[in-house]
Amino acid sequence: MKPLLTIVTITKDDPTGLFKTVKSTKWLRNKYPIVHIIIDSSADTAKKNQQLSESYHLRYIHQPPAGIYGAMNLGLSQVTTDWVWFLNGGDTLHPQFPTDLLITQLSQTHADGCIYQIESNGEVQAWPSLSDMLPFPSLWIPHPSAIIRAPTLKRLSGFDTRYSIAADGDLWYRLIYSGAKLDLINIPLTQFSPGGASSQSARTSAEVFRFLRRHWFTLLKWWLGKGLTLYRIPKHFYAQSKA
């Protein structure tokens, strides 16, 4: 059976976190044809990480430090399956996630991406509806909670490495405005390990402003389009009442 999903894990000098991640996905990989790729930018622990990856029969790639999104793009370039899931080193597959449902959904859905919930510090993050996410990039979906079609990501050229934090937001902006079809599933997929770069609010805010400056024209068109829709609704019903 052809593998359906590739898990890409980025790690750097964190063998303990990497062990948690690959251990959590072991039973999923044993049950289904799933590929797991490790992109490692470690220096001192690279040999240990490679040995760990080989012991779990994972594909291991060492890359000199190029930032997390550069590493994710390298991982994406190696994906040959229909779907890809970026699971950070230290994050884990939720132990109560119904994997049979996952395989059924990925096999049958016509969506370009599936968005799940994440659990962090014992709390489950519930996402708003997609319409409520627009156009604000501060509501972006973190990559560990989403499984996306690899050809769709490749068509959009993957993650923008000009961002060090907000590339997730930029990607979701491009996904949604490209007309991608997305499924929202209110089941926790990932146990998220907080404390990464995205939790640094000052840096995140600065990159959000960069994002807004870069995409201001499209965002303006979105707002104007919404206003035009609101104008047309009463006009439509008024015309019907006169017919």
Q: What are the 10-residue block averages of pLDDT along the chain, 243 residues in total?
A: 91 91 91 92 86 87 89 96 96 92 94 93 78 59 93 95 85 85 92 61 67 70 61 55 58
Does residue 31 fall inside a structural domain?
A: yes
Using CA atoms, how far apart are residues 162 and 3, in angstroms rounded to an integer?
Answer: 32
Does residue 175 fall inside a structural domain?
A: yes
pTM: 0.83
- CA 232-235-238 angle, to 5 degrees, is 150
Does residue 218 fall inside a structural domain?
A: no
Does residue 215 fall inside a structural domain?
A: no
What CATH number corresponds to the domain at position 149? Answer: 3.90.550.10
> What confidence score (pLDDT) does residue 81 get?
96
Does residue 27 fall inside a structural domain?
A: yes
> What confidence score (pLDDT) does residue 196 get?
46
Of 84, 113, 91, 90, which is closest to residue 176 (Cα–Cα)?
113
> What confidence score (pLDDT) does residue 198 get?
45
Does residue 220 fall inside a structural domain?
A: no
> What confidence score (pLDDT) does residue 44 get?
82
- Domain range enclosing 73: 5-201
Does residue 191 fall inside a structural domain?
A: yes
Does residue 64 fall inside a structural domain?
A: yes
Number of domains in the chain: 1
